[in-house]
Copies of this chain bind each other. A is one copy, B any other.
Amino acid sequence: MKQGKILIVSGPSGVGKGTVLKELMKRHPNMRFSVSATTRSPRPGEIDGVHYRFLDKASFEDMIARDALLEYASYADNYYGTPAEPVQQALEQGIHVILEIEVQGALQVMSRRKDAISIFIAPPSYGELRRRLYGRGDTAPEVAEKRLKIAIEECSHAQEYSYTVVNDNVDEAVQEMEAILLAESCRSEFRPIHLEEEL
């Protein structure tokens, strides 16, 4: 069984990460999203273990103490993080695990898992990013402006990722992500040659 890979994927709001990842997963059924753990309360319709793994504060802090998270952060008095164990189990079953996380979490995972593949999904241009954020119609200009500022800050971290995929065209972006996965599986460290054994 060939081990799966961790795919760290970040990119600003409005860049089309969801569309690209959905299409990638359609083409590669041996791929799944990691389920984050959180201490916030479930919202109506959210299912434990599907949308989030809902934990109480003590359990989450116990995971922190046991170093059982690939990354975590706290927002608005709640913890959010990625439990390491389910990721590891999936990898051992040959499943690629996508961590769709923001920059700070991504950097934490990169420093812990040198074998993770990190991809930043970038907008083709400032103008296009702006159009996508404002163009949603239902977004107030102040909200769009704030998202745009955050997006620009996020893009300033792209160089910390191994790869940058520009989402100008979904099909091309998916092809690049597929090429990255295939190329990474060709790294010599994962393909030792054992000719001597057969002698």
Contacts and interface: CB of A to CB of B under 8 A. Distances in A.
Interface of A: 120, 122-123, 125-127, 129, 151-152, 155-156, 158-166, 175-176, 178-180, 182-184, 186-189, 191-193, 195-199
Nearest to A158: B193
Contact of A158 (B164, B188, B196, B198): B188
Nearest to A12: B195
Given A126-B199, A198-B126, A198-B127, A191 B164 contact: yes
Contact of A182 (B123, B183, B192, B195): B183
Query: Which label, helix, strand, loop or mixed, suits the secondary structure of the A interface?
Result: helix
Contacts of A179: 178-180, 182-183, 186
Given A179-B178, A180-B183, A198-B127, A155 B193 contact: yes
Contacts of A166: 191
Contact of A175 (B122, B151, B182, B193): B182
Among the interface residues A162, A180, A195, which one has the most CB atoms of the partner chain B within 10 A?
A195
A104 B156 CA distance: 40
A183 B118 CA distance: 12
Contacts of A188: 120, 158-164
A180 B176 CA distance: 10
29 contacts: A122-B191, A122-B193, A125-B195, A126-B195, A126-B197, A126-B198, A126-B199, A127-B198, A152-B195, A152-B196, A152-B199, A155-B195, A156-B193, A158-B188, A158-B193, A161-B188, A163-B183, A163-B187, A163-B188, A164-B193, A165-B186, A176-B182, A176-B183, A178-B179, A179-B179, A179-B180, A179-B186, A180-B183, A180-B186
